[in-house]
């Protein structure tokens, strides 16, 4: 499935047209209306599962006060409040949560199928939203969210935290400066012995939209687009090892950028040994990052030995939320927009449909 090769249909303009849709979305967004600029922000979290804990830590690193939690499972909200020692009000009703006094920004940490309702209701109140990836569980839902985001005064930022890792910033800087020459290919692998995933919502297509492609390869797609521009061609082979699921649990996605860079994204929940790496090959050298060795990015010039470039270990949540707050305060344009989220979902789900059909 190909996307148009017209640069006018790609990200980077104030308003762009999604390449496989007619939905207009903002690629940039400023919110000068913030009531609490440069002061402690009062935030809330919708969905109190595992990823919400990382958001709590990210908010605390940015000196925010978590004042409200929402979960349809009251025990889940109570557990998060207790575990993280939060002084937060607990809600099971979404409208009551959004009307919490002084609430200024939210994170959506629910399963993907619930993203649209929560984000739509928040954005219609002009409430800033940081939505966990993937943006939506379907292309159609992603399109609707793009429309809602374009109509709102508040930003919708998608949680592609890998963009904000210090090592990725260094990698991008090296690529952009030409240190490794013209880029030939990109490879990103996220594999782990996650043999219990068949017991979770991650392996339910109606909830997650897909398996490994929508879980970890969605990050790979976003990184590829972030580093090299939009995707004009994509294909995939995948396999299902679990007996009682309806999603892929091992996949290899191939991509091509408008500029001619080739990319692969390999993912598996069935790998016996964890492997999480990024490698970029150019005409003058290569870069290698191992997520299990986060303090260094490796660089090898074409005519030399490996060099270790020191980086700051991070999971990216604190940096992501710092950017989120700067966007809310109008200090920077929106990154990881609804359009970025939609394009990643389009690419992932188009190859699933292609192989099924």
| CATH code where residue 218 lies | 3.30.360.10
Contact 33, 126 (CB under 8 A): yes
Distance CA 225, CA 253 (A): 14
Cβ-based burial of 144 (10 A; exposed 0-12, middle 13-18, buried ≥19): middle
- The answer as to whether 355 is a domain residue is no
The whole domain housing 87 covers 7-162+319-337
- The answer as to whether 356 is a domain residue is no
Q: How many domains does the chain have?
A: 2
Nearest to 233 by CA among 269, 262, 206: 262
C-alpha dihedral sign at 334, 215, 85, 121: positive
Contact 112, 136 (CB under 8 A): yes
Q: Are residues 140 and 194 in the same domain?
A: no
Q: Are residues 188 and 305 in the same domain?
A: yes
Q: Are residues 69 and 155 in the same domain?
A: yes
Q: Are residues 218 and 303 in the same domain?
A: yes
DSSP 312: -
Place of tokens 């930003």: 155
DSSP 40: P
- The answer as to whether 90 is a domain residue is yes
pLDDT at residue 203, as a whole number: 97
pLDDT at residue 98, as a whole number: 98
Nearest to 226 by CA among 151, 302, 323: 323
Cα→Cα distances 140→96, 231, 249, Å? 28, 19, 23
3-state DSSP assignment of residue 161: helix
Per-residue model confidence as pLDDT tens digits over 34-63: 445 557 899 999 999 999 999 999 999 999
- The answer as to whether 347 is a domain residue is no
Distance CA 206, CA 87 (A): 34
Which two tokens mark 110? 């629910």
- The answer as to whether 208 is a domain residue is yes
Q: Are residues 75 and 122 in the same domain?
A: yes
C-alpha dihedral sign at 227, 231, 237, 238: positive
What tens-digit pLDDT sequence spans the chain (357 residues)?
333 333 333 332 222 333 444 344 544 444 443 445 557 899 999 999 999 999 999 999 999 999 999 999 999 999 999 999 999 999 999 999 999 999 999 999 999 999 999 999 999 999 999 999 999 999 999 999 999 999 999 999 999 999 999 999 999 999 999 999 999 999 999 999 999 999 999 999 999 999 999 999 999 999 999 999 999 999 999 999 999 999 999 999 999 999 999 999 999 999 999 999 999 999 999 999 999 999 999 999 999 999 999 999 999 999 999 999 999 999 999 999 999 999 999 999 999 876 654
Q: Are residues 69 and 210 in the same domain?
A: no
Q: Are residues 109 and 30 in the same domain?
A: yes
Question: Any idea what the CATH number is for the domain that residue 136 is in?
Answer: 3.40.50.720
The pTM assigned to this predicted structure is: 0.91
Distance CA 94, CA 273 (A): 41
- The answer as to whether 349 is a domain residue is no
Between the CA atoms of 54, 117, 221 and 331, what dihedral angle is there, to the nearest 10 degrees? -70
- The answer as to whether 245 is a domain residue is yes
Q: Which helix (H) or strand (E) holds 217?
A: helix 217-228
User: Which residues, at least 6 apart from 260, have a Cβ–Cβ distance to it below 8 Å?
Assistant: none
Extended beta strands in the chain, E state: 15-17, 24-26, 42-46, 65-70, 89-91, 105-108, 129-132, 156-159, 183-193, 231-239, 250-257, 262-268, 270-282, 285-290, 296-301, 307-310
Q: Are residues 182 and 60 in the same domain?
A: no
pLDDT at residue 352, as a whole number: 83
Q: Are residues 170 and 307 in the same domain?
A: yes
- The answer as to whether 350 is a domain residue is no
DSSP 64: -
Q: Are residues 238 and 329 in the same domain?
A: no
Q: Are residues 26 and 107 in the same domain?
A: yes
Per-residue model confidence as pLDDT tens digits over 273-325: 999 999 999 999 999 999 999 999 999 999 999 999 999 999 999 999 999 99
Distance CA 320, CA 335 (A): 10
Extended beta strands in 163-269, E state: 183-193, 231-239, 250-257, 262-268
Q: Are residues 105 and 133 in the same domain?
A: yes
């Amino acid at each position: 499935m190909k996307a148009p090769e017209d640069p006018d249909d790609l990200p980077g303009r104030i308003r762009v047209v999604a390449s496989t849709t007619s939905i207009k979305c903002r690629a940039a967004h400023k919110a000068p209306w913030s009531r609490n600029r440069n002061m402690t922000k009062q935030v809330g979290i919708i969905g109190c599962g595992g990823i919400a804990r990382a958001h709590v830590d990210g908010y605390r690193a940015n000196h925010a006060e978590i004042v409200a939690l929402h979960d349809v499972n009251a025990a889940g909200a109570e557990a998060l409040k207790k575990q993280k020692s939060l002084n937060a009000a607990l809600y099971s009703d979404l409208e009551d949560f959004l009307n919490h006094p002084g609430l200024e920004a939210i994170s959506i940490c629910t399963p993907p199928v619930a993203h649209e309702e929560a984000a739509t209701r928040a954005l219609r109140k002009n409430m800033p939203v940081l939505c966990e990836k993937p943006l939506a569980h379907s292309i159609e839902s992603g399109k609707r969210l793009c429309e809602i985001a374009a109509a709102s005064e508040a930003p919708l930022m998608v949680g592609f935290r890998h963009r904000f890792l210090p090592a990725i910033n260094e990698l991008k800087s090296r690529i952009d400066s030409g240190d490794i020459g013209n880029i030939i290919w990109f490879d990103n692998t996220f594999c782990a012995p996650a043999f219990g995933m068949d017991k979770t919502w991650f392996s339910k297509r109606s909830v997650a939209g897909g398996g490994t492609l929508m879980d970890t390869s969605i990050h790979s797609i976003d990184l590829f687009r972030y580093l090299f521009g939009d995707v004009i061609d994509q294909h995939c082979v995948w396999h299902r090892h679990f007996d009682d699921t309806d999603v892929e649990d091992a996949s290899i996605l191939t991509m091509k950028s408008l500029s001619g860079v080739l990319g692969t994204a390999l993912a598996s929940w069935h790998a016996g040994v964890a492997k999480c790496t990024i490698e970029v090959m150019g005409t003058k050298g290569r870069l290698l990052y191992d997520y299990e060795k986060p303090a260094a990015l490796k660089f090898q010039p074409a005519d030399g030995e490996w060099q270790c470039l020191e980086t700051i270990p991070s999971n990216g949540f604190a940096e992501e939320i710092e950017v989120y707050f700067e966007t809310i305060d109008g200090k920077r344009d929106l990154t990881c927009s609804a359009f970025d989220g939609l394009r990643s979902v389009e690419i992932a789900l188009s190859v699933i449909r292609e192989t099924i059909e």
